Amino acid sequence: MYKKKAKLVFKHNSFEIIEEGDYVLCAISGQKISLNELNYWNVDLQEAYYSPKEVNERYKNLKK
């Protein structure tokens, strides 16, 4: 299922595929995220997140 890591540019409400692939890695957990299931990212940090749990963890760390 996961064959090649994609390179993306995250934009508000969308992302641009720079290099074709099947997945990206979660910036917090390192889990592979299928591009079809990618719903969470940070435009400013250019990071992808697996779920709201990882988004919350990153947000807490930024506030420190």
In tens, the pLDDT along 33-54 reads 999 999 999 999 999 999 999 9
The neighbouring-strand residues paired with 47 are: 42
The pLDDT value recorded for residue 2 is 78
Task: Classify residue 1: in a domain, yes or no.
Answer: no
Domain range for residue 43? 7-63
Residue type, 12: H
Gap between the Cα atoms of 59 and 40, Å rounded: 13
Among candidate residues 58, 27, 23, 18, the one with its CA nearest the CA of residue 37: 23
Q: What domain count does the chain have?
A: 1
Q: Is residue 2 part of a domain?
A: no
pTM, two decimal places: 0.91
pLDDT tens digits, 9-26: 999 999 999 999 999 999
